[in-house]
Amino acid sequence: MTRKAKIEKLIYRGWAEGEDLVTKEKILLRWALPGERVEYRFFRRKKGVILADLTAIVKPSPWRIKPRCSWFGRCGGCSWSNLTYQQELAWKEWVIREVFETVAQVDLQEKINPIIRSKRRYGYRGKTELTFSLDPKGQLVAGFHQPGRPDQVLAIDRCWLHRPIVNQALMALRRILPQTSLPVYQPRTGQGVLRSIIFRTNREEELLIGLIVENQEKMSLKEKRLWLDQFRQQLGKQLVSFWLIKERRRPGEPVEVAKEHWWGAEFLTEAVAGIDWPIGPLSFFQNNAEQAEKMIDQLRRWTKSHLASSARLLDLYAGTGFLSLPLAHLVAEVVAVEIDAEAVVLGQKLIQARKVKNYQFFLGDSSRVLTRLLEQGLSFEAVIIDPPRAGLSKKALRSLLMLRPQFIFYISCSPVSQARDLAYLIKKGGYRLIELQPIDMFPCTWHVESMALLRRQ
Ligand SMILES: C[S@@+](CC[C@H](N)C(=O)[O-])C[C@H]1O[C@@H](n2cnc3c(N)ncnc32)[C@H](O)[C@@H]1O
């Protein structure tokens, strides 16, 4: 039986939400756009909502465009590239409004600025990771995980969101795979070697490769040479660094990761805000350098308008100090907290090289370091928070309230956890949301970043 629906809106996580034309039940599906009439196939019901597969578009949206990518609809990477960029931005703003109003009950009427658009809609991504797998014919392939199918990878040959050098590296990889005798790692048995491969790039189109393996003792010198020589031959001078990342997983034990610098420069650098940032194989770096520059501009504006030059600034979840090092000359002191040792080493090298005297790093978990800072009686006028997608733990939130900074700059790639945490800070800490600045770091996808400025009343 053909079921029909009309699509009403796009929501967080990239779903299109609509209503069955006959039963009036709520349905969620992918690849359809607001205003469209569609035909769908029932997939399953979850909490009273029909999860469906799109089978036909009966009446298309006037904002529908032909996606550039031939893998669109299967890969899931650029879920909104079938929509004009103007509309994509409008929906991102709308999603943030809805999340804030429903999760945090914050009426954003005058507080939300128009989203900052990305100059590039394609070719902006700085990091890519592909998983090795066997295709149905038993051939070794590397690809992206398919949405909803964590056990299957899609061996794409090109991605429009990546910088062009990554597509060249993909071509080189396709030539290497038939030549290698290394087996794919099998999580169930713990056997095999090849796990995944990471490509990191900068705006100069230079490339760092990290090959992630298990059971690395099975990787002979001949194999190592094959991978390195082939990539060097195919990529020439654009390949600047090669790392071998050895993982060891044993049931019930934490994953052990050891990095071996294999060839070339140790790191890539990306120039943002007048600083050459080192990018290692695993440490975090903002995925869209041009937009990250605009993030720093916004933080500079907030710092200049709200903080005195005598202020002390705390940067929790600091990475290499990316968001706070460009502000160090505007304040008296910066303390940065980061759990990843690679990022802290890179950040420390940077502050030494630049002779920044008022900046120090703490390696460790944010809430633990916060407790220590509180015990030492330290105080900060402002705190930058840029946590992973899950947001802040209850412990971190409670410690933050005890620290009582006057201002909080909360940056997040997850409006849901950001809205939840802001609701807590507003309710329990007497903070007020002054400004919310959405910024499109991830064009063509449903992901959206936002920066919140909070002030204690
Ligand atoms: C979204 S990134 C932001 C990094 C940095 N602000 C930037 O813009 O490059 C989040 C950072 O938090 C770090 N992190 C994750 N959990 C942490 C924790 N419990 N305590 C401290 N840092 C943590 C990660 O290693 C990562 O560098």
pLDDT tens readout for residues 110-163: 899 999 999 999 999 999 999 999 998 999 999 998 766 767 889 988 999 999
Same fold, 3-64 and 127-271: yes
pLDDT tens readout for residues 397-424: 999 999 999 999 999 999 999 999 999 9
Segment 186-206 shows an average pLDDT of 94
pLDDT band (50, 70, 90) for residue 251: confident
Ligand 1 pocket residue status of 433, Cβ below 6 Å: no
Q: What is the dihedral of CA 278, 279, 281, 284, to 10 degrees?
A: 120
- Provide the greatest CA pair distance for the chain: 71
Atom 12, ligand 1: residue with shortest CA distance: 317
Q: Check residue 148 and give its pLDDT.
A: 67
Where helices occur in 307-403 by DSSP H, the ranges are: 341-353, 366-375, 394-403
Confidence class of residue 426 from pLDDT cuts 50, 70 and 90? Answer: very high
127-271 carries CATH number 3.40.50.300: no
322 ligand 1 Cβ < 6 A: yes
Residue 57 Cα to ligand 1 middle (Å): 42
CA of 338 to the centre of ligand 1 (A): 6
Structure tokens at 223: 């194999």
Q: Is the CB of 366 under 6 A from ligand 1?
A: yes
Separation CA 135–CA 123 (nearest Å): 27
- Picking from 435, 431, 439, the residue whose alpha carbon sits closest to that of residue 456 is 431
Tens of pLDDT, residue by residue over 298-314, are 999 999 999 999 999 99
Is the C-beta atom of 386 inside 6 A of ligand 1? yes
- The residues with which 130 forms a beta bridge, in sequence order, are 197
**Two tokens, residue 345:** 């080493």
Going by CATH, does the domain composed of 3-64 fall within 1.10.10.410?
A: no
Task: Tell the CATH superfamily of the 92-119+288-456 domain.
Answer: Vaccinia Virus protein VP39 (3.40.50.150)
Query: What per-residue string of b and e applies to 368-388 under the rule 16 or more CB within 10 Å gives b?
Result: ebbbebeeeeeebbbbbbbbe
> Measured from the CB, is residue 419 less than 6 Å from ligand 1?
no
In 15-44, which positions are buried (b, 16+ CB within 10 angstroms) versus exposed (e)?
bbbbebeeeeeebbbbbbbbbbbbebeeee
Ligand 1 center from residue 311 Cα (angstroms): 23
In 155-286, DSSP assigns E strands to: 194-201, 207-213, 239-248, 256-264, 268-272, 275-279
Can you say whether the dihedral through the CA atoms of 218, 220, 225, 226 is positive or negative? negative
Q: Is 388 in the pocket of ligand 1 (CB under 6 A)?
A: yes
What are the residue ranges spanned by the domains of the chain?
A: 3-64, 92-119+288-456, 127-271
Is 319 close to ligand 1, i.e. is its CB under 6 Å away?
yes
